[in-house]
Amino acid sequence: MEDIRVSKTKLLFALLSANRTLRHNETVVSAQETFELGFFSPGNSTNHYVGIWYNKISVRTVVWIANRNTPLTNTSGELTLTHQGVLVLRDATTSNVVWSSANLSTRSVRNPIARLLDTGNFIIHEEGEETDQEDPIWQSFDFLTDTLLPGMKLGWDLVTGIDRHLTSWKSDDDPASSKFSISINTRGYPEVLIKDKQEIKFRSGPWNGLRFSGNPTVIPNPFYNYTFVVNQREIYYQYNLINTSLLTRIVIQPITGHIERLLWIESKQKWELYLDPESDHCDEYALCGPFGSCNIYNSPVCTCLKGFEPISPDEWRVADSTRGCRRTVRLECGGGDGFIKYTNLKLPETRGSWYNQMMTLVDCEKMCKSNCSCTAYTYTNRSGTGSGCLLWFGNLTDIRMFVENGDTLYVRVSASELDSIENSRGSNARKRVRVIITIAFVALVILVSICLFYLYNRKKQQEQGTPQNEFGRDSGTRSGDEDLELHLFRLSTLLKATNNFSVNNKLGEGGFGPVYKGVLKDGQEIAVKRLAKTSTQGLHEFKNEVISISKLQHRNLVKLLGCCIKGDEKMLVYEYMPNKGLDSFIFDENKRKLLGWCARYNIINGIARGLLYLHQDSRLRIIHRDLKVSNILLDTNMNPKISDFGTARAFGGNQIEANTNRVVGTYGYMAPEYAGNGIFSIKSDVYSFGVLVLEIVCGEKNRGFIHKEHCNNLIGHAWLLHTEGRSLQLVDKCLGESFNASQVLRSIHVGLLCAQRYPEDRPTMTSVIMMLGGEGPLSSPKEPGFYVGKSMHDTTQSSSSYGASSNNELSITMLHGR
């Protein structure tokens, strides 16, 4: 859509007056030359259209088209404004009318003028009424194509009956109306729908006075503000720029139907995506069916509301929940029914709803209770005092749960079901009290035991003259010193081993602090990570790393030999890796040639085995959370060892995932659900592994890689090559043709399976190892996450190969996305 050819010899008109004609080599420009209107041909098409595009930017970008469904096949088109105030596009060779504007105004027209405004709106108004742009005779903003600009209204003019909606292009070469559309549904309480033909793909949820119900993480931003208007004259969504010097647009894509909010970045001379409203599996319309709710943090994601049960339990057992749920007890319809309160929801589909914006919540409940067909209610205005009433009749469809900032819904159930739920809550509360008392008693016994052990151990250390373990003194998270089976090094020992931490012994430095090479008295080589006072990681990560890997033993994990804690000095002692980190080879123009395909394939398999041990075979399930090339160390024989467990988290029992408000990791390796919502699991490590595999094959960093043709990052480039059957073009050029094509293709395929957008689609590491070593067919990967390049230049220095996160650490305390 952005590759257009414009026939133009001069800027002829600032406006069109009656009976003036615009021809193929002439254009109309806005007052400040922001927008331009004229004839153009998109992409490789030979057809011709009248359209509006940005005038001053280097990438020609069309935002509106007059004759999108009736193209001209030659250059003889003429656009004329008649005395009646109607724009007419003719083919001059046949005199046939190709397109004309609709004059919906009932007022008489004397001297019409057509003017292109700097908002991108092409309007017809009376001469002498240049300043009256609120009520034009006709305007292009009433007839949207695939783009929503600031100031445009998406929605309905209830007086004229105009439905302002977006429709995608068929392709980059054909702007004709295609199957994807964005519109506002007016049956019941209005909400925005994205459709594939007549099938709903996504809905925004109703407006709650602050934001759409399905988008609770929208927060104020420096680019634009937005509003949603519902009254007797019109219903529309609109956004306006805060900084009018910025260029931004919302576009519906032709192939996927995705909605993209794009911002023009002048320094990069390109459009960049900065908001995508469809974020995860639960945004799929009606995924859990009637009276079902979707929670992306659960597995499976669908559950029935309280008081409801699956219509088809057999289908639910195989993860098909689309038929939804039914009531376990029928409604009594009368004074006996009650309501269960749900919070943090995306409210149900509103096509079967009724609303009154002036009614109080109390009156809203009374009205719902008095109507046997009413199934739920809520208030419609969160920005005010909770006023406004929204009632649902019939099924409640397309509900999802959020962690926070969602809306409240009151769902109707029978009195007997309500009693059962309340009794269950009471029983659960009593159970919780008993469990809490038991846990408190056990904790007291353990605490006393730890204190006695600590005093005994301290006395023993003092008697033997060994260094004191200060770990317990400043840790509130440990389960006791007996859980550590590490050698405690004296500070004097490490000072001597590293020549007083000489600069000549320094191996590197990262977020943790400097790393030094040392040699112990018996000749053993070690690597010492010294916690810096200015460390971006700190004591928490230091303790976490000790606790996480103190008992981990695997040939593909770096071995922690011990630690030293003396006053302000806190150090970790590792086995020394003579070949340092994988990043020092794979991303170095000269040293990468030393890594042939066999070595790379061995490294991929070794990392996979180490990750499998962490996820499945270790004492606790360990989620690394910062798996990247610089955290893979290489021993003398170039065998890989996973390092840096400062951000790792341990799972116990049957726990499979968790979420956090402090996202730490490295751009380019973090899974979408972790970077966007703080959700991490073994599948977020699998995503990082997928990125790692592609980097090892290609010899390029995912972050900072921008393909010159399609501007994708490494994941996107690999995905496009795979879909086109050209995966071997991804192979590092320094390998020439000395590689096993079957292993390379299989590695790329597995990497893309691991990097899929949704965690439930990614394989486990058990499956990964089987796929890498097998020869059978593999399933086709779905679209990867974060595959569109953002031109984020990698400004970080090479971190220590001993696992410091360096400047790559990302810390997010307020999660937002979409």
Q: So which residues are the catalytic ones?
A: 626
d(CA 691, CA 668): 8
Helix (H, G, I), strand (E, B) or coil at 505: helix
DSSP codes, 638-698: --EEE---TT-EEE-TT--EEE-SS--SBTTTS-HHHHHH-EEEHHHHHHHHHHHHHHHHH
What is the DSSP secondary structure assignment for residue 750, as one 8-state letter? H
Our separate counts of H helices and E strands in the chain read: 12, 48
Give dist(CA 529, CA 646) in Å, integer.
Answer: 12
Rounded CA gap, 152 and 175, in Å? 20
Q: Which of 82, 85, 76 is nearest to 39 (CA)?
A: 76
Place of tokens 């995932």: 657
- Helix (H) or strand (E) holding 64, with range, is strand 62-65
In angstroms, the CA 741 to CA 721 distance is 15
Q: Which residues contact 804 (CB under 8 A, 6 or more apart)?
A: 508, 509, 510, 511, 512, 513, 515, 529, 537, 644
What's the CA gap between 654 and 641, in Å, rounded?
27
Neighbours of 236 (CB within 10 A): 18
Residue with tokens 């353990």: 446
For residue 235, give the DSSP letter: E
> Token match 């049957």: residue?
654
- How many degrees, rounded to 5, is the angle at CA 49 between CA 44 and CA 52? 105
Question: Cα Rg for the chain, rounded, in angstroms?
Answer: 32
DSSP for 551-581, written as a single string: T---TTBPPEEEEEEETTEEEEEEE--TT-B
Please name which of 166, 180, 174 lies closest in space to residue 255, comparing C-alpha atoms.
Answer: 180
